[in-house]
Structure 1
Amino acid sequence: MSQQDPFQALVDALRRTLTINPPTPSTSASPSPAPAVTSVNTVPSSSPPVYASPMATPAPYAGSAEDCSGFLLQCELVLEMQPHLYPNDTAKIAFLISQLRGKALKWADSIWSQHGAITQSYSSFTSHFREVFGKPISDSSAGRSAHTRNSTLYDVVQAIL
């Protein structure tokens, strides 16, 4: 005689137990319905309530030097007014990149795919963004070498893109 599968033996034993000892009905004549859950989370929250902000997203940015500073300002305002939506640097960078078009988006794609230090910090990302797309420093108090360096970087990027 062949030996029975252990799993099948358990199933058979369970069936026998249920047939010999059927489940007993409840002692209550009419079961009462479960109470409806009407409570709201009563745990006090340490964070302030979150409100929707009427902030509009900035217009898509395509890489013009004239629009760079205003675009970054508008992004900063959105991020500042909706911190619950952008809780870390990666979320902030992703938001900014989602607003890019054209050559600016191509630049961001290249930077993002490198997984470098620039994409780990929002501050580093926006600083590099300003270097690449912003107007060259023209303030005489900034020094001639900074003006020349930024003009050159801007010209190189514009030629590549």
Structure 2
Amino acid sequence: MDRRIKLIMALMAWPELRKGRWQNPIPFPELFDGEMEKLPEFIVQTLSYMLVDEKTFDTDKRKVMFLITRLKGRALQWAMRYLQTDSPMLNNYSGFLNEMKEEFGWEEDEDF
């Protein structure tokens, strides 16, 4: 678990590490606190940010870890159980996203 926490901390500092290098033109995603009304916007922000920088976000694990770094409050509490148990879901972006949608009550007609 310590390794996962270190990885999260490194990813949280990541925007500072990128100064002077290529800058993602998509605004850095805002933090998500678990409020369902904000979940669609959060998913669009994070997905757009990752799609523009496919070299950095080239694995599901990196995508999931990035999502977790953009969580706070109730949403972060929810995600911590995956980190604490070293869940296989940490390596499954689509699965993690689907569980997130289910947890925070998103009812949708189409998939993201």
TM-score, reference length from structure 2: 0.71
In the alignment, what sits opposite 1:110?
Answer: 81
8 Å CA contact 1:66–1:134 kept in 2: the answer is: no
Extract structure 1 runs of 4+ deviating beyond 6 A: none
8 Å CA contact 1:92–1:122 kept in 2: the answer is: yes
Q: Cα distance 1:80–1:111, how it changes in 2: closer, same or farther (>3 A)?
A: same
In the alignment, what sits opposite 2:17?
Answer: none
Secondary structure of the corresponding residue to residue 52 of structure 1: coil
8 Å CA contact 1:63–1:102 kept in 2: the answer is: yes
Distance 1:79 1:134 in 2: 24
Distance 1:54 1:111 in 2: 30
Could you tell me the percent identity over the aligned residues?
Answer: 27
Distance 2:105 2:63 in 1: 19
* Code of the aligned partner of 2:70: Q
TM-score, reference length from structure 1: 0.51
In the alignment, what sits opposite 1:73?
Answer: 44
The structure richer in helix per residue is 2
* Code of the aligned partner of 2:78: W
The runs of 5 or more residues in structure 2 that have no matched partner are: 1-21
In the alignment, what sits opposite 2:101?
Answer: 130
The runs of 5 or more residues in structure 1 that have no matched partner are: 1-50, 140-161
Shift in Å, 1:65: 0.6
Distance 2:105 2:86 in 1: 23
In the alignment, what sits opposite 2:34?
Answer: 63
Structure with more contact order per residue of length (Cα contacts < 8 Å, sep ≥ 6): 2
Query: How many residues end up aligned between the 2 structures?
Result: 90
